[in-house]
A and B are shown apart, each in its own frame.
Chain A
Amino acid sequence: MSVAETKLEKPTGWNRPPVIEPDGEGELLEVAMGPHHPSTHGVFRMDVALDGERVVRLKPVFGYLHRNHEKIAEGASYLASMPYTDRLDYFCSLTNNWAYALAVENLVGQPVPERAEYLRVILAELTRIQNHASSIGFLIQEMGASGTPLMYAFKEREKILDLFESLTGSRMMCNYMRFGGCRVDVSAPWLDAARKVVAGLPEFVDEFEALLSTNEILMARCQGVGILRQDLAVNAGVSGPMLRATGVNYDIRKVDHYGIYDRFQFRVPLGDHGDIYDRYMVRVLEMRESIKILEQALRDLPAGPIMDPKAKIRGFRPKAGEAYGRIEAPKGELGFYLISDGGPNPYRYRVRPPSLINLTILEDMCLGHNVADVVLIFGSVDIVLGEVDR
């Protein structure tokens, strides 16, 4: 059944998308945006029904990049899935590693040494900065500023990726964290290089903001577009900058106190209107807060082991039971749900993908807007198809 043929049903519950009535003149035009559309960040399709330029219905279609990550992980040992988590959200492999390591550590009750916790925080915040910078760059690119802002973001991302490469051996597929610590220790030259990069970041954010925040076109296209209501955002499980842009103060770093985040001074930026501009602003401010965390973590980094000496590596068989572990990934709440039956590989391995769940309300945000705005609204959700389709 095509989108245009789907029935115009009145919403049954308060959390259903509103019904936009066509004006009755002419027919609805059905457009398949994607799977090969430059704005879809990969292979993703939106079946859009249009009344003139106005979006009347929108159905996302997934699965073009589906490889059943969960099934593959159920056939592999716990550690063997660690490099595969890099491929979920390939922009943020280090936070993926952390979420998975945290879930397994919850499952077996594995402590993590202090130095390793600091390293995790440093790498996760660097990941957050490069993710937010490039996601804003992509958003502006979709607005028509082809290249320039994106390249400004990529210039900074490159410095961070160089740090990742010199530490982990890979720019994007880092495979760095282990159950009970991290894989390799940082060296003094690496720390100096990291301090230098972090010292240069505030200037980058200032420049980025001077270019964009008060840009007339950006304000005209983003302010008041794609508004998400607070109650709907919570009910639809929206997380990360998307949720905070609606004004909900919910940052898992503050709520769950996982790792050692309660040792750092940082604020949670909140939006007011829940539109694209607020999402942009929340991401910029989160970069500033991440820089603060990085400065503190690099200052306080203690000496010590990076792996718990009692951590079991060979013959790793968690006792029967289950655990859910989640972290504040750059895109939202990334969780792993594991069930162990006492065997060497997980009985059930489930990824809670923030990118997929943040798309639940895509239709609600797009209805009534022009097609051109759909591209922006979609871009402001900040998704990676490797994680949506898994």
Chain B
Amino acid sequence: MKMVEEIKAAIEAAVPGAGVEFVPNPSPSAQHSLRLAPESAVAVATFLRDDAELAFDFLSNVSGVDWPDKEVAEKVKLTRPVTKTVDGPDGQKVEQPVEETVEESRKHTEPGYLEAVYHLYSVAKKRGPLVIRMRTANRTDQTELPSLTPVWRSAEFQEREAFDLYGIVFTGHPDLRRILMWPEFKDFPMRKDYVEPDDFEYEPTPHDEVLKRAEEHRAADASHDHGIGAENQERATG
């Protein structure tokens, strides 16, 4: 933890307004990380690489992480004034305002985001890992993050992979294309809410209309199966 906080101080001294945040890691590995603001990430990354003291010249791992919208239920203690009937001093019932504390469960949704995590090592100083991370604004339409490929070439394929599987758009990447999925593929398979299509290889054909009409015949004709197994029928009519 000492080391990461020292690095944070060094970054803040060198890059004014860097907006670096310390993220503790409760696991026994104690690999704490620094969250960078996307605006200053390239400047901070360049500093981390070029600073003679830090010299994080080796970017080992780039990883996308998906954090979907999270519904958080929490119990809130509320104090509110109520009127209660109490025994008065002269034996009569008297209404009196008192304060009552009740517990109320509230639900709110924490907006989701995509995250890119970078593991840095220093080959020159034989140190590491330093974990840096960045968050997108949301998971739907603002999924841009600055690319660190101009700083560490090692991110080239790994950022392409995070783009391919998570949909993080790395601005400034020299060649941002899908890498593992095929170019026509539309979705982002590593996201937590990804649903597999029934047929990966479905393509519309000029005969779709014909097949649809054939399907109508089949529904009426389902009672007699002329020796064609149900499986084959399905294949024959698509």
Contact = CB atoms under 8 A, between A and B. Distances in A.
Interface of A: 12-13, 15-16, 62-63, 66, 68, 70-71, 106-109, 232, 234-239, 248, 250, 255, 318-324, 326, 333, 335, 337, 339-340, 348, 350, 352, 356-357, 359-361, 389-390
B205 interface: no
A16 B174 CA distance: 9
Interface residues of B, number: 36
25 contacts: A62-B179, A63-B179, A71-B189, A71-B190, A107-B27, A107-B28, A109-B27, A109-B28, A235-B57, A235-B154, A237-B58, A237-B59, A237-B154, A255-B126, A320-B27, A321-B25, A322-B27, A322-B29, A323-B25, A323-B29, A348-B63, A350-B61, A352-B60, A360-B153, A390-B180
B236 to A, nearest CB: 30
B65 interface: yes
Contact of B27 (A63, A319, A333): A319
B123 A322 contact: no
B58 A234 contact: yes
Contact of B60 (A12, A333, A389): A333
Contact of A250 (B123, B158, B181): B123
B154 A236 contact: yes
Interface string B168-183: 0000001000111110
**Which 4 pairs from chain A and chain B are nearest by CB?**
A321-B27, A237-B154, A109-B28, A323-B29
Contacts of A63: 178-182
A68 B152 contact: no
Nearest to A352: B61
A382 B167 CA distance: 30
Interface string B103-132: 000000000000001010001001001010
B150 A235 contact: no
Contacts of B179: 62-63
A337 B59 contact: no
Contacts of B27: 106-109, 318-323, 340
A237 B29 contact: no
Nearest to B181: A63
A68 B190 contact: yes
A319 B26 contact: yes
B157 interface: yes
Contacts of B129: 324
Given A107-B27, A322-B27, A352-B60, A335 B153 contact: no
Contacts of B26: 319-321
A108 B63 contact: no
Contact of B31 (A16, A71, A239, A322): A322
Interface in B38-62: 57-61
Nearest to B160: A62
A179 to B, nearest CB: 13
A236 B153 contact: yes
B154 A357 contact: yes
Nearest to B65: A348
A54 to B, nearest CB: 22
Interface in B53-106: 57-61, 63, 65
A16 B156 CA distance: 10
Contacts of B158: 356-357
A339 B65 contact: yes
Nearest to A13: B150
Contacts of B180: 62-63, 66, 68, 389-390
Contact of B119 (A16, A107, A335): A335
Given A71-B189, A333-B60, A356 B157 contact: yes
B23 to A, nearest CB: 10
Contacts of A389: 180
Given A319-B27, A337-B61, 20 more contacts: A16-B153, A63-B179, A63-B182, A66-B180, A106-B28, A106-B29, A107-B27, A108-B28, A109-B28, A109-B29, A234-B58, A235-B57, A323-B27, A323-B29, A324-B129, A333-B60, A335-B61, A337-B119, A348-B63, A348-B65
Contacts of A390: 180
Nearest to B28: A109
A387 B15 CA distance: 38
Contacts of A360: 153-154, 156-157
A293 B157 CA distance: 34
A321 B29 contact: yes
Given A324-B131, A335-B61, A360-B153, A234 B123 contact: yes
A255 B123 CA distance: 9
A69 to B, nearest CB: 10
A242 to B, nearest CB: 12
Contacts of A106: 27-29, 31
